[in-house]
Structures are given as C-alpha cells and as structure tokens.
Amino acid sequence: MGVLRHVVCAMSGGVDSSVSALLLKRMGYHVTGVFMKNWDSQDERGVCSSERDCEDAYKVCKMLDMPFHQVTYVKEYWHEVFSNLLREYEQGRTPNPDIMCNKHIKFKHFYHYALNTLGADAMATGHYARTSQEDEEVFQQKSVVSGISVRLYQGADRFKDQTFFLSQISQDALRHTIFPLAGLTKDFVKKIAAEAGFQHVLKKKESMGICFIGERDFEHFILEYIEPKPGNLVSIEDGKIMGQHQGWFTLTLGQRARIGGQVDPWFVVDKDITTGDVFVGPTTNHPALFRDTLQTDRFHWIAEDPPVELVRTQMMECHFCFNNRMPLTPCTVTLNLDGSVWVMLKEPIRALTPGQFAVLYKGDECLGSGKIVHLGPTIFTLQKGQNCMSRPPKDTGQQHPEPVS
C-alpha cells in the first residue's frame, strides 16, 4: 500500500477552491482545508465578507470530511502588501496587490505554514494554471535532484488563466504546489460543484477587483490612508487647466477623469508628481495614451534564470501583457546588466502604467514578470517631434550670410 500524501488546500469559500479540494480527495490524498484571513474587516464598514467566506469554506470541508483550519496574515499583509501599495500610489504608480499577495502571502507565508507547521507534502490552490510537473512528481521532487526548473504554464481555460497573478512566485513554492483545475474550464468546474451539492458557493457572486476596497469608490477608499494633495487637471493638447483633483494617486492612466461642465469625457494620459499636475486628453484613444516601449525593475524569472536564448543573444522574441484581461502582444525583450529588461512592443498599447507588472510568455509558458518603472515616449510626443522637425523655420526678415567655402 502506497504512502498517503498530505495536501493542504487553500480555501477561499469560492467555487474554485471548493472543487479543488473535492478533486484532491478523489485523487486519494489526505486533504486539509485552510482559510486565510488577510484583511481585518472589523476595521472597515463591512467591506470584505471574510467571516461569511470562512463559514462557506468550513461547510465545504465538513461536507468532504476534511480537517479545517483558519490562519490570519493581517499583519503580514499590511506590512508586505498594503504598505507597499500606499507607497506606490504616493510615487505616482499604480500597483497590483493581487500579484504581491500571491508572492508574499499565499506562496510564502501560507506555503511555509502548510509544509512546516501542518507537515504537508504539498499545497494546492484553485488557480487556473498548470506546471511542468505531474502531481506525483510534486511529492518526489525529482526537479530538485536533477536541478531542472519547474515551469509555469497557462491553464486549459485560457479565458480564466491566472498565470498572470502567479508571475512573481518562487521556484521553491511552485515545486511544491498542485493546481487541480489545470486542465478544466470554469463551466466544467461549476458543473462539478453543482453535482457535489456546493450550492452555497455557486450562488456567490465572483469577486472582482481588490477585496479590501469592496463596493466602495476607490478615491474615497485611498483618501482614508493618504492625505489629499489637490492639483490641476491639465489638457495635454494646449496646457489649459480643465479642473481639479484630490491627489494624483486617486487617478491612473487611461481612467476617465471627472471634469465639471464637460459634456464629453476626458481621460488621464500622464502625471507629474513634482508639480501635482495630472494631464488629460479628450478621447479614450488619444495618442498620448499609446506607447510601445517600457523598462522593468529586476525581472523575476519563474525558472530563476533568464532563458538561455536571452542570455546568449541579449534579445528574445516573446509575448507581453500588463493586464490579465488583455490579449498577449508580440514583443522583443532586451536583457540589461542589472537584471532589468527593456520591452519593445510590436505595436503601441494603450495606458501602459508604471507600477503594473510586465508579464512575459513564450508560447503557453509564463516566464515571469517585472514591475514597470520607466516608459518610452508616447505616440503624441513622437508626432509633435515630427511636426516640429518638418515645420520650416520662421522668416524673421533678416538676411542669412552665405556659408564660407
């Protein structure tokens, strides 16, 4: 008789983690469900429904005859995710707390809790993603012995694929993780949940956006933590002051700007945190929103080392995205000596945003990600430069001397 493997499954109270636990049980593993509390809802006015989510996770574990635990990472989340988020906003960037939560909380603190405290052989989550390991290889850890890196691949459901959010996790955590939903579609997962009687999780509205903000207006939320810094909304086209804002950190590139008295919408195209000015353009596809070049900070490679092709030639063709809902865009990547990368896109993209993550793909493999720290010039800037160069010099009425031969 084989060894009974112990897997700790992260339980959110949603349909994906519930079905993941069910599938692990069907595979014959000893499964423990653990609910993570990362945000103290008592501090807010009923923003996150963490208590109800915890109850829903507990019900599933009871139905599956699984041990259930709850672990709190409120302090860790505040120091390692939320405080960083506030600093990023104050510096004019737009962070991605979901990627940072996976990196610092789920695949670091929770991972160590699962293996070291609960003594699990592996952990599992309900992400739509897959790896280069078969489930049994997770327990055998052949990759460690052979020195071969475990690869992260897109899940079978490309619309629900969540490798974007896993692009900063460590190789060590990935080696010890099972993704039970790797080969399934969302519709099929819901079908499994219905057949299993998980009606209480099927009824729930799927969470979108940042959980700790909930249904509230983002500007109101962020102003609870950062002092207002009023400034001007300035037209990118003629420098005219169009209105006021409460702080550049309440606005992100591509967002619709609230300008009183304007019938047509204006959109945020740039920010200057030294003056406090936020620049706006009159159309959603204004050329000041489009760029084709960006630089990241030190890039995090899932396999730990950059691809051999990139190291050998310093350049590589691959695909890029900075938003999990956007289609992958062809690009050329250049590796810098400090570990950062330049990304040159095949065509300009709307609202590339500092603070977001540049996630790279080679085929269906997620290579990793780096935070966007610098942007190349906009199409609007380049067009203005071309216009200046093509414009003939003004006639001042003065005679210009002939060149001396």
**Catalytic amino acids?**
101, 211
- Amino acid code (one letter) for 7: V
SS3 per-residue string spanning 323-376: CCCCCCEEEEEEECCCCCEEEEEEEEEECCCCCCEEEEEECCEEEEEEEEEEEC
Give residue for tokens 């967002």: 255
What's at 350, amino acid-wise? Answer: R
Calpha distance 216→219 (Å, rounded) = 9
Tokens of 317: 């063709």
Coil, strand, or helix at residue 121?
Answer: coil
Q: How far apart are CA 98 and CA 359, in angstroms?
A: 14
Cα–Cα distance, 92 to 77 (Å, whole number): 22
The kind and range of the H/E element at 85 are helix 83-90
Alpha-carbon Rg of the chain, whole angstroms?
A: 25
Looking only at the bridges linking them, the beta strands covering 129-131 and 152-154 are antiparallel
Contacts of 186 by beta carbon, 8 Å cutoff, 6+ apart: 128, 157, 159, 160
Give the other-Cβ count within 10 Å of 132's Cβ. Answer: 15
Q: Residue 265: helix, strand or coil by DSSP?
A: coil
Instruction: Please report, for residues 113, 158, 193, 277, 354, the alpha-carbon distance to residue 165 in angstroms, rounded to integers and kept in the order given.
Output: 21, 14, 24, 32, 17
Sheet holding 256-257, edge to edge: 241-245, 231-235, 277-281, 266-272, 256-257
Q: Provide the pairing of β-strand 277-281 with 231-235.
A: parallel
- Non-local (6+) Cβ contacts of 265 within 8 A are 256, 257, 284
